[in-house]
Amino acid sequence: MKALYFAKIDYMRARTQLYMLLVITVVVIVIMQVGTNVTGLAGFMYGVFLAIIFSTAPFGNCTRKDAGFQQLLPATTLQRVLGRFLFGLSLLFVGTGIGLITTTVYCLMTGKQEMVPLPVCLITFAVALVVITVQYIFFYLVGESKGAQFLSLVRMIPGMCFFFVSIKVMGAVQQDPATAVKIIEKIGGNLDSIGWGSVALAVLVMTAGILLCTRATAKKDY
């Protein structure tokens, strides 16, 4: 599938940033060991947060020359756009894996049992996928080669909002665990359904985003 080749090109473009991702992960693990108010869930959220931030790396590395070269390759606009979204999706899987590994290392080294429940993983993954899709739509609408002008703004704000809202929710749960328990009891039987339903909805949003970006890019190409 040609889209996979375009995803591979994006990985080649962003390899320096991806090396930074690994370094930051090590730093996060160290901080979690010495921190006093750190939880395993925070480590998981941070892994997903990093994926959101670094998912826009190809846009920042794209120049007019690169965009023109890709248009000359034997592929359709849909395949080029799909490749970019596959890059973002695969990086989100990597970020989720990093988050789970970080949490596991934290639990093993501290002896705490704070593994992230599956429904929480699914809902977090779904929200992050929607955030990445919105970022990509913005870059494609303003022009891929102009992405660097907006990179610092679009790249940081959604990811920071995701991370700090997640931290705020976790803080609220820690301050009032009784209320949190009541809410969980009310929806407890449906948590798995909510999790998988969130992922399905996020995939639909991503599909719509791919079609929208393909149409916008095709108009600019021609």
Task: Please write the tens of the pLDDT for every residue from 68-102.
Answer: 555 556 668 888 899 899 999 999 999 898 888 88
Average pLDDT over residues 142-166: 67
Distance CA(107)–CA(112), nearest Å, equals 5
Tokens of 212: 């929208």
Mean pLDDT, residues 51-79: 70
* Token pair 């985003």 in the structure block, residue: 209
Tokens read off for 53: 């931030």
pLDDT-based confidence at 148, cuts 50/70/90?
Answer: low
Listed in sequence order, the residues at least 6 apart from 40 whose beta carbon sits closer than 8 Å to its beta carbon are 103, 106, 107, 112, 114, 115, 116
Is the pLDDT score of 133 beyond 90? Answer: yes
DSSP secondary structure of 122-144: HHHHHHHHHHHHHHHHHHHHH-G
Residue 2: both structure tokens together: 């040609």
- Tell me 37's DSSP state: S
Q: Is the dihedral of CA 143, 125, 21, 50 positive or negative?
A: positive
Nearest residue to 31 via CA among 43, 20, 19? 43
Place 63 in a pLDDT band, splitting at 50, 70 and 90. Answer: low
With 0-12 CB in 10 A as exposed, 13-18 as middle and 19+ as buried, what is 80? Answer: buried
Instruction: Report the pLDDT value the prediction gives residue 141, as an integer from 0 to 100.
Output: 84
Crossing angle of helices 2-13/64-72, nearest 10°? 160
Q: For residue range 182-198, what is the model confidence (pLDDT) as tens digits?
A: 666 566 567 778 888 99
Q: What is the mean pLDDT of residues 57-61?
A: 75
Higher pLDDT, 147 or 134: 134
Q: Where are the beta strands (DSSP E) in the chain?
A: none
Confidence of residue 212 (pLDDT cuts 50, 70, 90): very high
Q: How far is CA 157 from the centre of its chain?
A: 13
pLDDT band (50, 70, 90) for residue 119: confident
pLDDT of residue 211: 94
Alpha-carbon distance of 184 to 190, in angstroms, equals 9
pLDDT for position 126: 94
Q: According to the model, what pLDDT value does residue 65 have?
A: 54
